Amino acid sequence: MAEYWMDWASLLLRWLHVITAIAWIGSSFYFVWLDLSLRKAAHLPEGVHGESWSVHGGGFYHVQKYLVAPGSMPKELHWFKYESYFTWISGFSLLAVTYYWGAKAFLIDSSVADITVMQAVGLSLASLALGWIVYDLICKTPIGKNLLILGFIVYVVVVLAAYSYSEIFSSRAALLHVGAMVATWMTGNVFFIIIPNQKKVVASLQRGEAPDPALGQQAKQRSTHNNYLTLPVLFMMLSNHYPMTFVGDDLWILVGLIVLIGAIIRDYFNAGHAGATGLRVRWQWPIASILIIVLAIWAKPETVTLNTNQIVTDDAIQTIVTTHCAGCHAAQPTMAGFTTPPKGVILETLVDVQKYKAQVHAQSVASQAMPLGNMTQMKPEERAMLGYWLENN
């Protein structure tokens, strides 16, 4: 029965998570666009760095940006922070409901690392905290002054994290954790750097002092990271519905490519918003497309090869399915903790297997997503046999 309520918790949290993420990323895309569309003009008041006009919802908007701040505090000031905080809170809760509560099935893969639930959850929590500490320290070193070198080092840290995660968690959980770690940096940037700095600027305005421009620069460094990391994080969050993206030990290659591709696409929009033309906005799509094709070809599973003397009979496949799938995927599951077939997928007979042919191939042959956490310890030969049967039936 507990599963039933956990499914509701999961659905409601996912709903909330998507809504808050849309609100956060939506407003952040809007502000990045706004920032880059600001143009200088002769008539602008003192302290105004640029202005932008837009039309939406039946009227015209005229926005002016003050750098670092206006001479005095406006009567009403709008802040943008809860979108980010609630995206993290809902995302972390979703991580807990799916990967901590269901740690045995989703987080741990004993063929990767034989760890207990407590150890796995502890490692997950510690890695998220440690990830932030490392990232924040790197940004605060003198390297932080050079955005390009800093960007490269942050990139290396993400790829290293992908490698480390794939050595301790199931590949599906590993990829999601890279996303969660980077998303934690993004909210950390808002919570620990951007908003506190803005508060300091407001406080000095209220005291009638000139705010320290370094505060604005630091916030800018972090919001640039958030901007370039958004698309890769979204990919990683969605990836756990697509088993072809969990590629076990080589996860770092996929992550390395995805972070590059996402950042390159984002750069196209950034440059375009700033009014760039010519080569500055022409290189991104061709390069990103080539990298996506490289990624898809690289991740493609090898075709199944069998030992020449191996005979794949219907009976043998039925045994595999009964041993490795039907414990959970049955009208009445026998596996502890399962009361209904997961995702409504029943795999008891060969007719059932044929019905879900493509999904079974994706989950159990092309990837090792199923059996969940390889709980039943399905062997590579069995996957090969199942693959051969699926290809020939």
Q: Does 9 bind ligand HEC (CB under 6 A)?
A: no
The least CB distance from residue 336 to ligand HEC, in Å, is 9
Q: Does 335 bind ligand HEC (CB under 6 A)?
A: yes
The least CB distance from residue 385 to ligand HEC, in Å, is 11
Nearest-angstrom CA–CA distance, 101 and 117: 9
Please enumerate in sequence order all residues whose Cβ is within 8 A of that of 242, keeping only pairs 6 or more positions apart, or say none.
362
- The encoded tokens of residue 391 equal 């290809």
Please enumerate in sequence order all residues whose Cβ is within 8 A of that of 370, keeping only pairs 6 or more positions apart, or say none.
325, 360, 363, 364
How many of the chain's residues bind ligand HEC (CB under 6 A)?
A: 22
Q: Does 99 bind ligand HEC (CB under 6 A)?
A: no
Is 301 or 342 the residue whose CB approaches ligand HEC more closely? Answer: 342
* Cis check: omega of the bond before 156, within 30 degrees of 0: no
Is 135 or 356 the residue whose CB approaches ligand HEC more closely? Answer: 356
Q: Does 115 bind ligand HEC (CB under 6 A)?
A: no
For residue 243, count other CB atoms closer than 10 A to its CB. 22
- The encoded tokens of residue 223 equal 């919001």
Is 310 or 377 the residue whose CB approaches ligand HEC more closely? Answer: 377
Rg of the chain over all Cα atoms, to the nearest angstrom:
25
Nearest-angstrom CA–CA distance, 292 and 190: 30
Q: Does 385 bind ligand HEC (CB under 6 A)?
A: no
The stretch among 15-23, 158-166, 250-258, 370-378 that binds ligand HEC (CB under 6 A) is: 370-378
Nearest-angstrom CA–CA distance, 218 and 141: 12
In the region spanning residues 270 to 289, those forming contacts with ligand HEC, defined by CB under 6 A, are none
Q: Does 329 bind ligand HEC (CB under 6 A)?
A: yes
Instruction: Give the length of the chain.
Output: 393
Lookup result for tokens 């794939």: 166
Q: Does 370 bind ligand HEC (CB under 6 A)?
A: yes
Is 176 or 288 the residue whose CB approaches ligand HEC more closely? Answer: 176
Nearest-angstrom CA–CA distance, 228 and 284: 14
**Nearest to residue 90, comparing CAs of 249, 237, 210?**
237
The stretch among 12-20, 184-192, 281-289, 342-350 that binds ligand HEC (CB under 6 A) is: 342-350
The stretch among 137-145, 205-213, 297-305, 325-333 that binds ligand HEC (CB under 6 A) is: 325-333
Nearest-angstrom CA–CA distance, 336 and 346: 16
The least CB distance from residue 365 to ligand HEC, in Å, is 9
Q: Give contact residues for ligand HEC (rule: CB under 6 A).
A: 105, 324-325, 327-329, 335, 342-343, 345, 347, 356, 359-360, 363-364, 370-372, 375-376, 378
